Amino acid sequence: MSIRSMPMFPLGTPLLPGSVLPLYLFEPRYLRLYEDIVEGDRLFGVVLIERGRDSGGDDSRFDFGCVAHMVGSATHENGPISIVTVGTKRLRVVEWEPPAPYPIAMVKTLDDEELPESELGIIEEATAGLLKLKALFSELGADVGVEAPELADDPRTAMYQMAQLAGLQAIDLQRVLEAETTVQRAQIVSALISDQVELIELQLGIG
């Protein structure tokens, strides 16, 4: 774990490690953020807005988020910029600093410990639940396919992928980010997928 000052981008949805996040930048302060990260290490933090809107810092933000790494960009006519980012490590905000002019914070990056072999059954349960969920989504008319999802070999990454694929609400994705241990995170993801399955079954009148 390390602590550093980092540009921040509060959003209405969390970013998970391994997930791709495209952004369209047009506000002057975030165009300035783009200039600064291009000149630096191309990293910034993403946190979920808890209440309010991100306008002048009047919002309330969660402390746990994710480091975003910009991997591509394109400039549009008249100034806006599209960027593509990938989530890397979880982060926790230690202290918000004065805007510069975009939000900036001292953050601690967090490493996820490996999932013990004794707990790998949780991943199997979650994978089976996700496959069932995809089939239910298909019955609702969503074009998601019913084949088994391609997941990373590393259970830590696979958990984040499953949380993203399950179509969870922002607050549930935030719970995944805030889990204290990898085992707790696996349990949360599996339970959330199970809850999602039950919800869709109710909508379809199954059970």
Per-residue pLDDT tens digits for 152-188:
899 999 999 999 989 899 999 999 999 999 999 999 9
- Identify the burial level of 63 via C-beta atoms within 10 angstroms of its C-beta, where 0-12 means exposed, 13-18 middle and 19 or more buried: middle
Say yes or no to pLDDT of 55 above 50.
Answer: no
In tens, the pLDDT along 90-145 reads 999 999 999 989 999 999 999 999 999 999 999 999 999 999 998 887 777 665 55
Number of C-alpha atoms within 13 angstroms, CB side, residue 34?
21
Give the model's pLDDT for residue 134: 86
Q: Which amino acid is at 156?
A: R
82 conformational bin, left if phi > 0, alpha if psi -120 to 50, beta if neither: beta
User: Token pair for residue 70?
Assistant: 């910009």
Residue 202's pLDDT band, with cuts at 50, 70 and 90, is confident
Within 10 angstroms of residue 27's Cβ, the number of other Cβ atoms is 13
Say yes or no to pLDDT of 64 above 60.
Answer: yes
In angstroms, rounded to a whole number, what is the distance separating the alpha carbons of residues 91 and 102?
A: 18
Instruction: Tell me what the mean pLDDT of segment 48-71 comes to.
Output: 81
What percentage of the chain carries pLDDT values higher than 90? 75
Residue 150's pLDDT band, with cuts at 50, 70 and 90, is confident
> Is the CA virtual torsion 30, 44, 179, 98 positive or negative?
negative
Within 10 angstroms of residue 197's Cβ, the number of other Cβ atoms is 20
DSSP element (H, E) containing 105: strand 104-110
Nearest by Cα to 83 from 19, 33, 23, 37: 23
The pLDDT mean for the chain works out to 90
